Structure 1
């Protein structure tokens, strides 16, 4: 592996952390470690979202930059008499990316290694071999010989199960492969936005937020936004990369390395036109690359945030990412850095008069 610089070390620690919805303690601790030095105050909502506050101007407009801490994974639901684990998906999974994949079961006694298994194709009838195995027919094998042995090792129903993958810098060192880019890259953006605003004069109060339980319904975004009461919000997340074989531009336009995605529409929100225009005008002025995209089959934290209180002008800014909701996803470092740069420059230009114009014009 290439030698890790400060940014890559942060990204590795964020993606290595284990945290499915409702179990975000580990990634929250990593985010706190990296964002606290640049925050005036760190607090939490009652679901566990972390909120780092940075004051540019006291009483200035509240700007929220939110990435979610949770990753897709699984939960143990029962242990059978032979020691195999039945499980529930937590977040969206496609069955074809799951079989024979290594997982980590997080128990109160420590971590256990497992592998997702099913009935082998060698004993299936020919027609059944052609069909994808349904998730309900899969199990996790931890090498236990009985329910008692698995229980003795610490396994209990409700335990978190997390995909296992090692953070990898590819031969093209801009290309980064890891589990949980969805959405530790959003957490990293929030961290670096506060870092780059450190010591910089701006007329706002900025909140870098790591939300919980996004993958099961944008839940922590709602509770943290209720606590903050922002007037402008950015949901930072991953998006679909349309640059792999078989994908037409009609299906997905974006390409890795061509700039952050400005989401104009998704299943959770129609992006705020005034904010969208302000962001793209800023990018055009400074020569920061960006791409437009629409994701009618998905949503981000912006979908919950924009419906809090009296309504919050919100925009999702995402990173084109390959193979999301699987054990290993890939993104381009330039897109991450340009997303941070764009949000920082937008925040510098937001004052009360500008916020009012965006909101009410």
Structure 2
């Protein structure tokens, strides 16, 4: 894929607005880009997209899953003055939310708003030292009453998404966008199928974009149940530790230094046999990689690996700065190397190899 076409894909994926439970926009973009490389594209009943590509119809089933949803908000009520109150959907840190522009997605169209709170000028000195709690925030859409907000089309249950446009930085390898968590995983699933187009591979590959990961790895459960894979890869973002104030003990990955091999997280212990194969493959092909562990987070692998009688699964992640905010930064080379690594591993995953690594 030419670089400008790749950037177009990444822009369309990240600009799409899709919070958990309302993934249609991102799913349509995913469908557009992955369909040319798939034999069959379909959805599970929760809204995950599954793109199937057959190399050997009797070979093992390999699932490569990113998630469609991004952290966002949902309208819960509108007060008499037209201010909108909301519920976070997915994990937010209150310090990154205030004064940020958002878009309310209504049946009548987009409504722009900004997250507000009581101004610091009228707070006590003690109160000013504390971060504003999420429960004390609201969204100002410029309405003067509940009735006017309703005229705008805003109602409880509407999705609210951060507003941000995909932007390559001055160093063009560094890409700034909202929703890298986890449209980059979706992009990797597309790129893996693209690179396998016309290639022989001894298996059936499923490029999957799951729903509702940010609220409990839910679409990974339903899509893995649908596919019944023999091997699983969860592709997601990971923590970059290359910004000021972060010690190597806290996080030592650097953007641009290769995909992260997740040894352990709160949702799973990585499968040793699969992990060993991936590392051997990376070493053989001189593909850079980093190790990471995330005792406080999880990926879709957490659901995939406990499907049916169990699935050998590994998370491969992209070190990313400022996740779960309005905009994050990652390195384009990490995207390329993650796709290359997964493709080289898939080419080896015939029936015998899968059997060997399952019980390694």
- TM-score, with length taken from structure 2: 0.99
Tell me what 1:52 maps to.
Answer: 51
Tell me what 2:103 maps to.
Answer: 104
**Residues paired across the two proteins, number:** 359
- CA deviation digits over 1:139-183, x for unaligned, max 9? 000000000000011111000000001111000000000000000
User: Is 1:314 matched up with 2:310?
Assistant: no
1:253 offset after TM fit, Å? 1.2
Tell me what 1:280 maps to.
Answer: 279
Provide the rounded CA distance (Å) in 1 between the counterparts of 2:154 and 2:257.
45
Tell me what 1:13 maps to.
Answer: 12
- CA deviation digits over 1:170-213, x for unaligned, max 9? 00000000000000000000000000000000101000000000
User: Is 1:295 matched up with 2:309?
Assistant: no
Provide the rounded CA distance (Å) in 2 between the counterparts of 1:95 and 1:58.
49
Provide the rounded CA distance (Å) in 1 between the counterparts of 2:140 and 2:88.
16
1:83 offset after TM fit, Å? 0.2
Provide the rounded CA distance (Å) in 1 between the counterparts of 2:358 and 2:258.
26
Provide the rounded CA distance (Å) in 2 between the counterparts of 1:276 and 1:360.
12
Tell me what 1:243 maps to.
Answer: 242
Give 3-state SS (helix, strand or coil) of 1:215's partner: coil
1:4 offset after TM fit, Å? 7.1
Note the aligned Cα RMSD (angstroms).
0.8
Provide the rounded CA distance (Å) in 1 between the counterparts of 2:73 and 2:47.
19
Provide the rounded CA distance (Å) in 2 between the counterparts of 1:317 and 1:166.
26
1:59 offset after TM fit, Å? 1.5
Tell me what 2:226 maps to.
Answer: 227
- TM-score, with length taken from structure 1: 0.99
Alignment of 1:121-136 (within 5 A): 121-136=120-135
User: Is 1:183 matched up with 2:182?
Assistant: yes
Provide the rounded CA distance (Å) in 2 between the counterparts of 1:45 and 1:290.
33
Tell me what 1:205 maps to.
Answer: 204
Tell me what 2:167 maps to.
Answer: 168
Provide the rounded CA distance (Å) in 1 between the counterparts of 2:211 and 2:256.
28
Give 3-state SS (helix, strand or coil) of 2:310's partner: coil
Provide the rounded CA distance (Å) in 1 between the counterparts of 2:17 and 2:33.
17
Tell me what 1:257 maps to.
Answer: 256
Provide the rounded CA distance (Å) in 2 between the counterparts of 1:20 and 1:59.
37
Provide the rounded CA distance (Å) in 2 between the counterparts of 1:87 and 1:48.
23
Tell me what 1:77 maps to.
Answer: 76
Tell me what 1:24 maps to.
Answer: 23
Provide the rounded CA distance (Å) in 1 between the counterparts of 2:261 and 2:199.
25
Provide the rounded CA distance (Å) in 2 between the counterparts of 1:144 and 1:43.
41
Give 3-state SS (helix, strand or coil) of 2:214's partner: helix
Give 3-state SS (helix, strand or coil) of 1:349's partner: coil
Give 3-state SS (helix, strand or coil) of 1:5's partner: helix
1:324 offset after TM fit, Å? 0.1
Provide the rounded CA distance (Å) in 1 between the counterparts of 2:307 and 2:62.
14
Tell me what 1:218 maps to.
Answer: 217
* Structure 1 unmatched ranges of 5 or more: none
1:290 offset after TM fit, Å? 0.2
